Amino acid sequence: MQNLLTAVQMQDADAYTIGLQKISSIDLMENAAKAFVKVFLKEVSSKKAIISICCGQGNNGGDGLAIARLLKKEKYKNITVFLINFADKQSDDYAENLKRIKRTKVKIIPITQLDELRDLACDVIVDAVLGSGLNKPLKSNYAGLAKLINNLNAKIIAVDVPTGFNTENEIEEDYIGVKADLAICFQRPKINFFMPESAKALVNFEVVKIGIDEDFIEEQPSFWKLLAQKDIQQVIKPRAKFTHKGTYGHALIIAGNENTMGAALLAASSCLHTGAGLTTVCLPQSGLIALNTLLPEVMALPRNDHFDGFTFEKFSAIAIGPGLGLDRANLGLLEMLINLKKPLVIDADGLTILSKNRHLLPELPKNTVLTPHLKEFDRLFGEHTSWWQRIITAREKAQLLEVIIVLKNQYTFICLPTGEVRINSTGNAAMASGGMGDVLTGIITSLLAQSYRPAEAATLGVYLHGKSG
């Protein structure tokens, strides 16, 4: 898994790389510009495109100046650099790159007042005004500049981050900043790129390596971890020869109600096809015909109002919640499962029942997997005004209750009892459809039944679910 760092930590990584590799900061900036241009060449194929590059006076602006010079070498014919001189100070590397570009034939226009840009028109605008060090909302001329850029009929490509974007902490509800079609970011994605509110600031992002020391990055303290395919490959257990269904556990899915039987069938199907040796669904009598028709491999346990005398001992892992309904009898069933201390997944109506009986939260078996979407999460742990708040709460509750919280979205956050927050990026907007959560519940339950550790089951399940979607 990749360590994701704060802006300050990335600055430390820059400094470490410069000291260790005997590379100057201006050369590291050149690396960044070259990496940016490599992606730009794919994004903007026409060498006749009218390109405006807006450069602030810090290192982000220095990147922009280097990019302009390199684009000129790539034979782009219509490049104009706008020097956004709204501040008094220049960084040293900005000043050096300004000297370099003045030795070329790139058109340079200094801007001291916003009105000087009122006639700006172009095909592509490169936003290199302010970088990742910003930690407060834009004001005055910078806010006006962002609005002007957004109103252009042009493709907007940001250098590292869009101007005005806060890379960690809450993204303002009334975000004031550039909205980029693409952010080409350096070495690591920014933490806030994975928050749903980031849609206010960018459509897509692409990460490019610029030569910052990877070992140093991975050694830095951070609880934010980005999942990669190699992490999943290390977790998956190949099936051994001569094994049998008993080798791969027995999963129980307690789900479905008269009007939501499909949830039980979806969870059972995904559990079966993820590889559980045996799958049993506990559902109302009215669902038996559908189950036996669609999933003849799955066994049925008719659900009555009580389970007196019934034993759950034969099951390796249990899930409760998809389409279950909120009948009072289901509270007693949930309490019974909590007391079993078996691997447990709670989803959907199971979470709603839990939210109405919060005294049960401290009783949950260690490493129970909770799989809420945002509304289910807020019912459990209180209203939140941002995803940053929600994830911080999820991390705290996962540690306090010693459970695993899978907070679902396009980018899903897996909060572990250790305090680690794993980010899965395999999801997509096409998965915003009824039944997706039921499928995920079945996948995770199947993996638990197959003796994957709970953190592994949640991580692997979320990754595979996103890949399949």
The CATH code of the domain that includes 67 is: 3.40.50.10260
Domain membership of residue 59 (yes or no) is: yes
DSSP, collapsed to helix, strand or coil, labels residue 273 as helix
Burial of 97 (0-12, 13-18, 19+ CB in 10 A): buried
User: Do 240 and 174 fall within a single domain?
Assistant: no
Q: Please list, in sequence order, all residues whose beta carbon lies within 8 angstroms of the beta carbon of residue 248, skipping any fewer than 6 positions away.
A: 239, 275, 276, 277, 449, 450
Token pair in block for residue 437: 């959560």
pLDDT at site 158: 99
pLDDT at site 306: 55
Structural domains of the chain, count: 2
Domain membership of residue 1 (yes or no) is: no
**Cα-to-chain-centroid distance, residue 341:** 31
Domain membership of residue 181 (yes or no) is: yes
DSSP state of 212: -
Per the CB < 8 A criterion, the answer to whether 50 and 78 are in contact is yes
Q: Which amino acid is at 139?
A: K
Domain stop point among 188, 215, 242? 215
Domain stop point among 191, 215, 239? 215
pLDDT at site 87: 86
Q: Mean pLDDT for each 10-residue chunk of the chain (469 residues)?
A: 96 94 94 98 98 97 98 97 94 97 96 92 97 87 96 97 95 94 98 97 98 96 97 94 96 96 98 98 93 96 70 93 93 93 97 98 98 98 97 99 98 98 96 96 99 98 95
What does each C-alpha distance from 287 to 270, 298, 416, 420 come to in angstroms? 17, 13, 35, 40
Domain membership of residue 188 (yes or no) is: yes
DSSP state of 452: -
Domain membership of residue 74 (yes or no) is: yes
pLDDT at site 320: 98
User: Do 114 and 186 fall within a single domain?
Assistant: yes
Per the CB < 8 A criterion, the answer to whether 252 and 315 are in contact is yes
Q: How many residues does the chain have?
A: 469
Rg of the chain on CA atoms, in Å: 27
Q: Please list, in sequence order, all residues whose beta carbon lies within 8 angstroms of the beta carbon of residue 82, skipping any fewer than 6 positions away.
A: 52, 53, 54, 55, 109, 111, 117, 120
Which pTM value belongs to this model? 0.95
For the packed helices 25-43 and 7-21, what is the interaxial angle rounded to 10 degrees? 120
Domain stop point among 171, 188, 215? 215
Closest to 2 (Cα-Cα) out of 194, 197, 132, 236: 194
The CATH code of the domain that includes 247 is: 3.40.1190.20
Give the residue numbers spanning the domain of 281.
229-468
Residue 155 forms beta bridges with which residues? Answer: 124
pLDDT at site 96: 98
Domain membership of residue 222 (yes or no) is: no
User: Do 279 and 411 fall within a single domain?
Assistant: yes
